[in-house]
């Protein structure tokens, strides 16, 4: 075949183009067009009027946002719940992975793993239904029942009716749902540790605990650092479903986060421009954090994320 022009060569790939271009068009409509929709954060958007006839208002929506007291409340809740989930999630998953690795029976280990994955696959609606039942004050509320049997409380507590318990309940719920699943990546990393290191530690007289502390944990360090950095970019993503499903009017001061704020102001109140401004704020901070984390990863000599 003689040398053809770029267009000529492209024409030879008609089938491949037909197989991919329609999806690229789909992608632009459904994934890129909404980004262009950020412009309504700088407008006073009125539904029913064309996008070109909207009134531009500059940064007014952002100014309103930063003056809004509720915004600072949801920011506090978002950061608090993110940090609790981050710390609890890491600590429990790493601990469980190490303990699973120490089990002697391969069959027993596999059974525990399979069962511990289950809650990850069920929906938050089902999980919330389970949590509401477990925390209820009637006699089927197992949590109150056990605490009363142990003599820790004298009468049942309405766990989901008081804001001060919400962050804790959410943290524990996230652990219940995801701890098993989150061990996968650590267990994969543990199998990559050179067995010779354990043998050397054994010969040096290290006991079980010392082998965990001085061989397993240092072996996990790179993956822990990498995952921590990745999660920093997600610090404003504190989740939406569990807060929405478990929260109620009584706990709103603690359960409402940035995503629920956007939903309330945007969809429920129809204040589209204001809610979009809050959404844009969240995305811009997240991208900045992601790039910052990537830079940090490079400085610490870790594999970069992208």
Positions 52 through 111 that interact with another protein (CB under 8 A): 96, 99-104, 108, 111
Residues 12-51 that bind another protein (CB under 8 A): 13, 15-21, 23-24, 26-38, 40, 47
Nearest to 275 by CA among 49, 73, 78, 68: 68
The torsion angles phi and psi of 55, rounded to 5 degrees, stand at -90, 125
Residues 186-245 that bind another protein (CB under 8 A): 188, 195, 198-199, 202, 207-209, 240-241, 245
Report residue 123 CA to chain centroid gap: 15
State in angstroms the smallest separation of the CB of 84 from another protein. Answer: 19
State in angstroms the smallest separation of the CB of 237 from another protein. Answer: 11
Residues 161, 166, 172, 173, Cα dihedral to 10°: 70
Residues 118-177 that bind another protein (CB under 8 A): 118-119, 121-126, 128-130, 132-134, 138-140, 142, 160-161, 176
Q: Which stretch binds another protein (CB under 8 A): 57-65, 73-81, 148-156, 182-190?
A: 182-190
State in angstroms the smallest separation of the CB of 152 from another protein. Answer: 17
Q: Which stretch binds another protein (CB under 8 A): 68-76, 82-90, 148-156, 277-285?
A: 277-285
Residue 289 found at the interface with another protein (CB under 8 A): no
State in angstroms the smallest separation of the CB of 137 from another protein. Answer: 9
205-212's contacts with Cβ under 8 Å and 24+ in sequence apart are 208/102, 212/98, 212/102
Nearest to 82 by CA among 247, 242, 238: 238
- How far CA 16 is from CA of 19, 21, 22, 25, 141, in Å, comes to 5, 8, 11, 15, 58
- Calpha distance 156→14 (Å, rounded): 69
Two tokens at 183? 């061990």
Number of residues that bind another protein (CB under 8 A): 98
State in angstroms the smallest separation of the CB of 233 from another protein. Answer: 9
Nearest to 253 by CA among 243, 263, 245, 239: 243
State in angstroms the smallest separation of the CB of 19 from another protein. Answer: 5
SS (H, E, C) 246-264: HCCCCCHHHHCCHHHHHHH
Neighbours of 143 (CB within 10 A): 19
Between 153 and 241, name the residue whose CB sits nearer to another protein. Answer: 241
Selected binder of another protein within 4, 49, 91, 248 (CB under 8 A): 248
Selected binder of another protein within 62, 90, 117, 165 (CB under 8 A): 117
């Amino acid at each position: 075949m003689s040398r053809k022009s770029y267009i000529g060569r492209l024409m030879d790939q008609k089938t491949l183009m037909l197989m991919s271009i329609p999806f690229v068009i789909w992608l632009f409509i459904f994934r890129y067009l909404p980004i262009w929709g950020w412009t309504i954060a700088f407008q006073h958007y009125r539904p029913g009027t064309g996008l070109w006839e909207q009134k531009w208002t500059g940064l007014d929506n952002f100014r309103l946002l930063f003056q809004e007291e509720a915004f600072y409340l949801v920011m506090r809740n978002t950061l608090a719940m993110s940090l609790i989930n981050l710390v609890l999630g890491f600590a429990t998953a790493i601990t469980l992975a190490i303990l699973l690795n120490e089990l002697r029976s391969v069959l027993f280990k596999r059974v525990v793993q399979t069962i511990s994955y289950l809650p990850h696959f069920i929906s938050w609606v089902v999980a919330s239904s389970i949590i509401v039942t477990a925390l209820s004050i009637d006699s089927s509320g197992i949590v109150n029942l056990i605490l009363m049997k142990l003599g820790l409380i004298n009468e049942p507590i309405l766990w989901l009716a008081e804001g001060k318990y919400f962050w804790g309940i959410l943290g524990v719920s996230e652990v219940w749902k995801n701890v098993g699943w989150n061990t996968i990546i650590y267990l994969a990393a543990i199998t990559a540790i050179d067995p010779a290191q354990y043998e050397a530690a054994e010969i040096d007289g290290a006991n079980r605990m010392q082998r965990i502390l001085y061989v397993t944990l240092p072996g996990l360090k790179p993956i822990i650092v990498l995952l921590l950095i990745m999660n920093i970019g997600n610090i404003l993503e504190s989740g939406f479903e569990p807060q929405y499903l478990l929260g109620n009017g009584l706990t709103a001061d603690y359960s409402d986060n940035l995503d629920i704020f956007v939903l309330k102001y945007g969809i429920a109140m129809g204040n589209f421009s204001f809610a979009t401004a809050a959404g844009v704020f969240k995305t811009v901070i997240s991208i900045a954090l992601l790039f910052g984390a990537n830079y940090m990863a490079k400085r610490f000599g870790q594999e970069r994320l992208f």
